[in-house]
Amino acid sequence: MPIPVPTHEPHKIKTVRPIAFPTLDERKRNLAAARFNVFELTPSQITFDMVSYGTGAMSQEQLAGQLVGDEAYAGARNFETLERAINRVLGHTYVCPTHNTLGAVKLLVKTLCPPGSTLASNARGRVDLHAPRGIEIHDVRDHAEAVFTGNFDLVRLEQVITTTRPAFVGAQCFADGQHPFSLANLKAVRALADRHGLRLVLDLSRVIENAWYIQRHEAGMADRSVAELTKLIAKTAHVVLMDGAQAPHCNTGGFLATDNPADLELFLNEVVVYEGLHTYGGMAGRTMEVLARGLVEMTDETEVQWAMHQTERFTARLRAAGIPCERGCDGAYVRADSFLPAGGGHPQHALACALYQTSGVRALAQGLVGRDQLLPLQIPRLAMTNEQLDQVADALIHLFRQRDRVSPLELESGAAADMHWHDQLSFRSVFADLDTFEFDCAPYLIHTLEPIARTDRGQRERAIREAGWNTFLLRSADVAIDLLTDSGTSAMSTTQWAAYDAAIPTPATSEAYHRFVAAVRETYGYAYALPTHQGRAAEQILSEVMIRPGQIVPGNMYFTTTKVHQELAGGRFVDVIVDQAHDPQSDYPWKGDIDLAKLEAVVAEHGAAAIAYISFEHSVNLAGGQPVSMDNLRAVYAYCSGRDIPVMFDATRAVENAYLIQKHDARFHHTRVRDILREMMLYGDGCTVSGKKDYLINMGGLLAFKDNAVWARSAEAKLRIYEGGVRDGGLPAGDLAAMARGMEEMVDDRYIRSRVEQTARLAAWLKAGGVPVVEPTGTHAVFLDVKRFLPHVDQDLYPAQRLAGEIYVETGVRAMERGNVSKGRDPKTGENHRPALELVRLTLPRRVYSDDHLRAVADGIVRLYQRRDSIGGLKFVHEPPTLRFFQGRFELAN
Ligand code: P61
C-alpha cells in the first residue's frame, strides 16, 4: 500500500515571523543599491525569500532545544544526544561534529584527498568546492537515466576508477538538488567501490527527499517508510556527511559519521585543527541539541509527505503555465535562459531582478558562474502555506507573460576577470515597465511548528465517549484541529517573543508597562490603561466602579462573563441589540448595532440616571461575530453624551469590527484599519478588552478610560487588591511587552484582512456543500445553524451538543456548542430555555491554521451533513447546576 498524501499539515503554527511587503519604488531603490544582484538584498527587503538553506520552520521542541545548550568545551551533553540521534536515525556509530557541511568537506579533503587527487561523483555542485582546491571531479552521473537522474553510470564509474584512481567515490542524495538516485544503484556503487578498495562517501543533506523519491518510484519500495529508507541509504556508505541546515532544519551545523574506527581517528586528528574539539566541532551546544532533535524528527512520515506534496504542487503549477523548469527536491529550478527570450549574458540575474521588481520575491543563483543557467525557487521547508506558494507561483507566471519586456543586464565596467562566483557580480540596467504582482495572503512565515494529534476514527469514538460527549472535556492531545475558541490560542510572532524575552521583571514599574500604556494611547486614544490578567478581570473592576446596585446596563447582546459581573455588581442587563441579530438567516450587515429606539425606550422608562453605562460590544460574539456600524457608534454616542450616560466598549474584537467597516462601508474603503479603530473608540468613554483575542497573545487583558481620572483612580484601587501590582495587573512584564507589540501587529491591514477573510472562506466552503450557517459570516467564527442542520432532533435532545461531538469523531476537529446546553434552564420552571439560536461555533485561532486545515474541516462537515439523517440526540448523565456546558456529561439518547 503506497503511503497516502495528507490533506493538510500534520502540525499547526506555533510562532510566526512577520514578512515585509516593500512597494515598487522601494524595490527599485533596493535593486539599484544592490547593483542588480539580489544576493545583496536583506530579508527585510523581501516578501518571499525562495531559498531553502537554513530557512525551514523548526518544531517547537527543536526551538526549545536551543535553550538547553550545554556550552562546555569538552564532552557536552548535547554531543552525546547528537551521537545517539545519529546512531538511531542513520545507523552509523562514530561521529565527528563540524560547524557546517563545509567543515565536513574540509576534513574529508584534508584526510582523504592528497593534493592532485581526483574524485568521482554524481554531483556537479561539488565542483564549486573542489575546483578552487585543484581537485578534479569526474562527472559519473548517468545522463541517460530518466527517472533516477542521480544514478551513477556504473561503466563510466569503473573507467574513472581504473584510469584515475580517485581518492574516494562521492555520492550526493538528490545530487545538486535535482537528481535522486535509486537504492539499487547506490548499492551497486558501494559494491564497485568495495571491489576497488575505495570508500563510498555519501552526502546525506537531502536524504529525506531522496528516500521519499525511492518510496514513490523504485520498484518494491512503496511500503517502506522514509525512516527505513533513510537508514538503508545511510548504511550503504562507508562515510556519511550531513548539512544540519537542510533535512534536519537546524540553522547551521554538520557532521561526519562512519562505522570505521580508523576513519574516525583520521577525522578526529584534523577536527581540532580546523573546527574545534571533537565533542563540538565548531557547533554551539545548543546547535548540537537542535540538530539532534531535527534528525530524529526529520523522518516523520506525515511531515515528509506534506513537504514533498508542497514541492510537487508548486512545480506542477509552474509547469502547467508553460514555465521551463526542472524538478528540484525543494522547489522548482527555472531554466532562466529559456524563460527569457531576449537572451543576454546573465539570464539568471536578469530573471531574479525582474521577479523581485514585479513582486518582491527573491530567487537566488548561487555558486560558480556558468555551471548552469538555472534559477532555483526553493521552498523554505514547512515555512509557507500552499496558499502562499500558489501566489508565489502566480507571481512568476505573471512575469512569464511579460517576459519579452524584461531588461537585460550588463556587467558593471571594471568587473575583475577573476569574479567567478555569483555573489561577486554587479550590473548596470534600466528598469523595464513591468506590471507588478500584488500579494493577498497571510503576511507571515511559519517560524515554529507544533504537532497535532493524529488519531483514527476508533480512537476518536473512544475519546468522545470518555469525554461524555462534551468537547470541553476532550484532551487537547486527542484533537487534530482545535476550533473550540480563538481565546489565548493565537500564534505569537517572533517580534512578540523578542519583546517577551527582553522584558525585565519587577514588582514595581517595568519598561514593558510603559510600552503597554503607550500602545493603548496610540491604538485607542485612551489616556488611562490598566493591565489585567484577562478580560473577565477587567469586567469585574469596571462593573464595580461604574454600577450602583439597582442600575440598568443596556447592551448589544450579553456575553457570559460580562453579564455575570454586571449582575454581581448589582446591575441588570437589558438587551437593546437590533432584532436582526436574533435571526440566523437575516443577512443584515450590521447585526451588532444597538437599536436606538429600544435604548430610548429604556431611558424613557427608567430615566438617564438609572443607566450605569451602555455595554457596547464590537464584533458581537454571541450573535456570531457580528459588527457594529460606524454610524451606529456615532449615533449612540451622540445620544448618550447629551444625557450623561457613559458608553463602555467591550473592545475584545474591535479590530475585526474595524476591518468589516473598511470592507462594507464605502466611505472607509481607503482608510487604514488603525485609523478606523481610532474613530470607533472616539465614540466611547472607556473599554474592557480580553487581550487573548485581538492582541495575538496567550494571556492578558485591559481596562481603559478615555479621560476620566476619577474612574481610573477607583479602578486602580481595585486592581491592587484583585489582580496584582497596579502596574502589571498580575501579568509578568513579558506578557505586557508581548501585548504592546501585539497591538501594533493587530492593526496591520494585511494581517487583519487575511484573518477575517479566512473565516469567510471557511463559511463559503461549507455553504457550497449545502451546510446551513449563520448569516452573514462574522469575524472570528463560523456558526453552524443546527436547527436547520438537524431539524429532526428536538432541542431537548441537545442537537448542537451532539453535532459538535459528531464533528470531532468525523474529523478530529473540536468545536463548541452554543445552544440549549449553554443557555441552561429557567430557574423557576426547571425547563430548558430552548433558545432561538441552536448553534455550533467553529472558532478560528489567529495565525494558527492554513486554508488546507480549514478545507479539511469543511469537507468533513459536508460529509456529516450528507448523512445528517443518521445523527440523533443526547441526554444528560451528569448535569451541573450552573454553567453546565463546561462540566456536563452526556450519552446517546435512545
Ligand atoms: C470565547 F465559553 N471569550 O469566545 P476572558 N468579552 C468577550 C469575549 O469573547 C470573552 C470575554 C469577554 C471566549 C472565552 C470564553 O463561557 C465562556 O479573557 C466578547 O476569557 O476572561 C471571552 O474574556 C472574557 C468562552 C469565555 C466561553 C466564557 O471563547
**What DSSP assignment string belongs to 129-170?**
HHGGGTPEEEE-B-TT-SSSTT-B-HHHHHHHHHHH--S-EE
Residue nearest atom 15 of ligand 1, based on CA coordinates: 487
Q: Which atom of ligand 1 is nearest to 781's Cα?
A: 4
Distance CA 166, CA 138 (A): 9
Query: What DSSP character marks residue 505?
Result: P
Distance CA 617, CA 689 (A): 10
At residue 419, the pLDDT reads 77
Q: At how many degrees (to 10) do helices 347-359 and 24-33 cross?
A: 150
**Is residue 777 in contact with ligand 1, taking CB distance under 6 Å?**
no
Cα 553 to middle of ligand 1, angstroms: 19
Length of the chain: 894
Residue 111: which residues within 8 A CB-CB, separation 6 or more?
263, 266, 267, 269, 270
Cα 487 to middle of ligand 1, angstroms: 7
Cα 846 to middle of ligand 1, angstroms: 15
C-alpha cell at 223: 511500503
Ligand 1 pocket: which of 487, 823, 883 to mutate (most atoms within 8 A of CB):
487
Strands 48-49, 889-892: pairing kind:
unpaired
Count the neighbouring beta carbons within 10 Å of the beta carbon of residue 881: 8
Cα 870 to middle of ligand 1, angstroms: 33
Sequence letter at residue 302 = T
Residue 670: which residues within 8 A CB-CB, separation 6 or more?
none
Of 617, 595, 599, residue with least CA distance to 552: 599
Q: Which atom of ligand 1 is nearest to 534's Cα?
A: 18
Cα 393 to middle of ligand 1, angstroms: 40
Cα 694 to middle of ligand 1, angstroms: 12
Residue 146 phi, psi (nearest 5): -95, -35
Distance CA 599, CA 613 (A): 11
**Is residue 657 in contact with ligand 1, taking CB distance under 6 Å?**
no
Residue 2 burial (10 A CB sphere; 0-12, 13-18, 19+): exposed
Specify the residue for cell string 525512516: 227
Cα 558 to middle of ligand 1, angstroms: 11
Q: Which atom of ligand 1 is nearest to 536's Cα?
A: 21
Residue nearest atom 10 of ligand 1, based on CA coordinates: 690
**Is residue 561 in contact with ligand 1, taking CB distance under 6 Å?**
yes
**Is residue 487 in contact with ligand 1, taking CB distance under 6 Å?**
yes
At residue 625, the pLDDT reads 94
Residue nearest atom 3 of ligand 1, based on CA coordinates: 487
Asked if residues 538 and 651 have their Cβ atoms less than 8 Å apart, the reply is no
Q: Which atom of ligand 1 is nearest to 692's Cα?
A: 18
Q: Any idea of the CA torsion for 248, 254, 259, 262, to the nearest 10 degrees?
A: 180
Q: Which atom of ligand 1 is nearest to 701's Cα?
A: 18
**Is residue 690 in contact with ligand 1, taking CB distance under 6 Å?**
yes
**Is residue 562 in contact with ligand 1, taking CB distance under 6 Å?**
yes
Count the neighbouring beta carbons within 10 Å of the beta carbon of residue 353: 24
Consecutive H or E run containing 839? strand 839-843
**Is residue 692 in contact with ligand 1, taking CB distance under 6 Å?**
yes
Helices (H), 127-281: 127-130, 154-164, 183-195, 207-217, 226-235, 261-274
Distance CA 144, CA 100 (A): 33
Distance CA 100, CA 69 (A): 17
Count the neighbouring beta carbons within 10 Å of the beta carbon of residue 501: 10
At residue 416, the pLDDT reads 64
Distance CA 747, CA 732 (A): 24
At residue 636, the pLDDT reads 98
**Is residue 615 in contact with ligand 1, taking CB distance under 6 Å?**
no
**Is residue 617 in contact with ligand 1, taking CB distance under 6 Å?**
yes
Asked if residues 97 and 281 have their Cβ atoms less than 8 Å apart, the reply is yes
Cis bond leading into 261, ω under 30°? Answer: no
Cα 561 to middle of ligand 1, angstroms: 7
Residue nearest atom 20 of ligand 1, based on CA coordinates: 535
Q: Which atom of ligand 1 is nearest to 653's Cα?
A: 19
Ligand 1 pocket: which of 489, 690, 779, 841 to mutate (most atoms within 8 A of CB):
690
**What is the pTM (predicted TM-score) of this model?**
0.95
Asked if residues 804 and 818 have their Cβ atoms less than 8 Å apart, the reply is no
Residue 742: which residues within 8 A CB-CB, separation 6 or more?
492, 496, 691, 694, 695, 696, 697
Cα 560 to middle of ligand 1, angstroms: 7
Q: Which atom of ligand 1 is nearest to 617's Cα?
A: 19
Distance CA 342, CA 404 (A): 7
At residue 327, the pLDDT reads 87
Of 695, 302, 698, residue with least CA distance to 480: 302
**Is residue 619 in contact with ligand 1, taking CB distance under 6 Å?**
no
Strand pairing partners for 528?
705
Q: For each successive 10 residues of the chain (894 residues), what is the average pLDDT?
A: 84 97 98 98 98 94 95 96 98 98 95 94 88 92 97 98 97 96 98 98 97 97 97 98 93 96 97 95 97 97 96 97 95 96 87 98 94 95 97 98 94 75 94 97 97 95 98 97 98 98 96 98 98 98 98 94 94 97 94 98 98 98 95 98 97 98 98 98 98 98 98 97 94 98 98 98 98 96 97 98 98 96 92 93 98 98 98 97 93 92
Consecutive H or E run containing 674? helix 673-682
C-alpha distances in angstroms, 534 versus 110, 339, 531, 728? 61, 55, 8, 12
Cα 690 to middle of ligand 1, angstroms: 7
Distance CA 821, CA 799 (A): 9
**Is residue 652 in contact with ligand 1, taking CB distance under 6 Å?**
yes
Cα 484 to middle of ligand 1, angstroms: 11
Q: Which atom of ligand 1 is nearest to 690's Cα?
A: 18
Cα 655 to middle of ligand 1, angstroms: 16
Q: Which atom of ligand 1 is nearest to 537's Cα?
A: 21
Cα 623 to middle of ligand 1, angstroms: 13
Cα 718 to middle of ligand 1, angstroms: 21
Residue 805's SS3 state is helix
Cα 844 to middle of ligand 1, angstroms: 14
Residue nearest atom 9 of ligand 1, based on CA coordinates: 621
Residue nearest atom 23 of ligand 1, based on CA coordinates: 535
Q: Which atom of ligand 1 is nearest to 883's Cα?
A: 16
**Is residue 485 in contact with ligand 1, taking CB distance under 6 Å?**
yes
Residue 528's SS3 state is strand
At residue 453, the pLDDT reads 93
